[in-house]
């Protein structure tokens, strides 16, 4: 669980410290007071990445050169780890004629610089906000990103494979491009084929295992079972062979987990085409519950749940379900009002004035 965070030059915060309890913390404040920014900083400590910035330097306070998030995480055995993310604009004004060129991002664990794959996984979180409805309704890339975020948090080998696959894919596409231009022959593909098959199969297997896990958590809406079908794009020698001509024509790799998708169904019908908005929301809730349980099963610890402003969109019954889930692990909730906390015995309130 996360104990404290310190933000410096991060979004609307010049310098501030927040403390969290093992139970429920509620961040309260009017619109634009910085509630979501706090969750964003927590998510950066968890994954090394922002969930909303398109360009990472967006998180740096307008007039600052550096944005910094530091957090102390304590494990089951009271061991504490300090995680730190430092984001810059790539250069720093040091008073000299020219600005100094600096790395855009530095991630540190206990003061030691770490690569992204070794930084993430130290503080596990599940994030849930109104935008998650996009998981049901929007394009496949959002669903693949979701799979990567969950699996990447529990499995270093998955993080390594995903990174290696992504780099290999770019290289292989470049070779396909050169082949189309007639510059090189197909033997240049062999190395990249092997690399993509090896890493791609690992990714596919883990995604399949997780999707089977979700389907094992039974959840019904109006008597019909929710289920997910994995629309996987397997990469193998024979599949690459099958698409070899088309791939050169398109100068792009046409099979592999970068083309995966999954579909939510209620019974036999897809939730994106036939589900009501409320049903789609329940589909996402089911996914989030599965995410919490899966991470617990894999790591032995429940992750911290981050809820961004979700109550305004839920009816009473679903509010109750979410509050029950919130009691099971450390949960940090943002909201404009605290009506939903009235039945809670213990709650840590953090108030912003705006
Ligand atoms: N790089 C930045 N530097 C300074 N301020 C920023 C930066 N990025 C965003 N902000 C400020 O942060 C505010 C938004 O904060 P945030 O999204 O956390 O608000 P919120 O409390 O979640 O509001 P809401 O209730 O509307 O969701 C914006 O109004 C903006 O002024
Ligand atoms: Mg917000």
What digits encode the pLDDT tens for the residues 252-261?
A: 999 999 999 9
Distance CA(75)–CA(77), nearest Å, equals: 5
Using the CB atoms, write b or e for 289-308: b if 16+ within 10 Å. Answer: bbbbbbbbebeeebbbbbbb
Shortest-distance atom of ligand 1 to CA 33: 21
* Last-in-domain residue among 282, 299, 316: 299
Ligand 1 close to Cβ of residue 33 (< 6 A): yes
pLDDT of residue 68: 98
Q: Among 14, 37, 338, which residue has the most ligand 1 atoms within 8 Å of its CB, making it the best to mutate?
A: 37
Residue 190, in any domain of the structure: yes
- 334: Cβ–Cβ under 8 A, 6 or more apart, which residues? 26, 27, 28, 35, 36, 38, 39, 307, 308, 309
The residue whose CA has the least distance to atom 17 of ligand 1 is: 36
Q: Are residues 143 and 274 in the same domain?
A: yes
Long-range contacts of 74-81 (CB under 8 A, 24+ apart): 74/1, 74/3, 75/301, 76/300, 76/301, 80/3, 81/109, 81/110, 81/122, 81/123
For residue 258, the CA-to-ligand 1 centroid distance in Å is 33
Residue 130 is assigned to a structural domain of this protein: no
Rounded to the nearest angstrom, the distance between the alpha carbon of 339 and the centre of ligand 2 is 17
The two tokens of residue 64 are 């600052």
Structure tokens at 235: 């990469």
pLDDT tier for residue 25 given thresholds of 50, 70 and 90: very high
- Is 126 in contact with 303 (CB distance < 8 Å)? yes
Helix-helix angle 190-216:140-154, to 10 degrees:
90
Of the candidate ranges 89-98, 163-172, 235-244, the one whose mean pLDDT is the lowest = 89-98
Q: How far is the CA of 306 from the centre of ligand 2 (A)?
A: 12
* Backbone phi and psi for residue 300, each to the nearest 5 degrees, phi listed first: 80, 0
Domain that holds residue 252: 135-299
Quick one: what percent of the chain has pLDDT higher than 70? 100
Residue 221 has pLDDT above 80, yes or no: no
Asked whether the predicted pLDDT for residue 149 surpasses 90, the reply is yes
* Number of domains composing the chain: 2
On whether both 147 and 294 belong to a single domain, the answer is yes
Do 163 and 275 lie in a common domain?
A: yes
What is the CA(12)–ligand 1 centre distance, in A?
6
Q: What is the pLDDT of residues 68-83, one digit of tens each?
A: 999 999 987 889 999 9
Q: What is the pTM assigned to this prediction?
A: 0.94
In a domain, 345, yes or no: yes
> Which residue, by CA, sits nearest to atom 8 of ligand 1?
11
Q: How many angstroms separate the CA atoms of 99 and 63, rounded?
A: 16
CATH number at residue 219: 1.20.1050.90
- Indicate if 1 and 40 belong to the same structural domain: yes
Examine residue 36 and state whether it is found in any structural domain, yes or no.
yes
Ligand with smallest separation from the Cα of 32 = 1
Q: Where are the alpha helices (DSSP H) in the chain?
A: 35-47, 116-119, 134-137, 140-154, 156-180, 190-216, 237-242, 244-250, 271-274, 277-299, 316-326
Nearest CA to ligand 1 atom 9: 11
In a domain, 249, yes or no: yes
Mean pLDDT of 281-301: 94
Query: Alpha-carbon distance 350 to 354, whole Å?
Result: 12
- What distance in Å separates the CA atoms of residue 289 and residue 256, rounded to the nearest whole number? 28
pLDDT digits (tens, 9 = 90+) for 81-97: 999 999 999 998 888 88
Identify whether the C-beta of residue 58 lies closer than 8 Å to the C-beta of residue 37.
Answer: no
């Amino acid at each position: 669980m996360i104990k404290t965070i310190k933000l410096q030059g991060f979004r609307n915060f010049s310098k501030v410290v927040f403390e969290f309890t093992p139970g429920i913390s509620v961040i309260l404040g009017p619109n634009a007071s910085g509630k979501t920014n706090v969750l964003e900083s927590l998510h950066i400590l968890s994954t090394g990445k922002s969930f909303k910035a398109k360009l990472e330097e967006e998180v740096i306070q307008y007039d600052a050169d550096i944005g910094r998030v530091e957090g102390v995480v304590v494990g089951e055995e009271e061991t504490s780890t300090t995680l730190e993310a430092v984001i810059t604009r790539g250069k720093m004004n040091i008073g000299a004629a020219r600005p100094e060129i600096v790395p855009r991002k530095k991630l540190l664990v206990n003061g030691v610089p770490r690569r992204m794959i070794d930084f993430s996984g130290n503080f596990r979180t599940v994030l849930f906000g109104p935008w998650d409805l996009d998981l049901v309704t929007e394009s496949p890339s959002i669903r693949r990103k979701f799979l990567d975020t969950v699996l990447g948090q529990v499995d270093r080998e998955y993080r390594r494979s995903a990174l290696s696959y992504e780099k290999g894919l770019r290289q292989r596409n470049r070779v396909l491009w050169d082949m189309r231009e007639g510059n090189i022959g197909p033997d240049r593909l062999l190395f990249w084929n092997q690399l993509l098959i090896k890493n791609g199969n690992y990714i596919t297997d883990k995604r399949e295992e997780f999707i089977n896990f979700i389907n094992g958590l039974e959840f019904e809406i109006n008597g019909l079972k929710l289920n997910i079908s994995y629309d996987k794009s397997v990469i193998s020698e024979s599949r690459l062979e099958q698409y070899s001509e088309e791939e050169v024509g398109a100068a792009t790799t046409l099979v592999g987990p970068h083309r995966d998708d999954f579909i939510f169904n209620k019974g036999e019908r897809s939730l994106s085409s036939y589900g009501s908005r409320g049903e789609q929301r329940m589909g996402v809730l089911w996914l989030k519950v599965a995410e919490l349980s899966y991470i617990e099963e894999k790591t032995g610890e429940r992750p911290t749940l981050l809820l961004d402003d979700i109550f305004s969109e839920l009816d009473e019954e679903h509010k109750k379900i979410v509050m029950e889930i919130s009691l099971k692990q450390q949960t940090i909730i943002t909201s404009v009002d605290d009506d939903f906390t009235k039945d809670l015995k213990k709650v840590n309130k953090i108030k912003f004035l705006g």
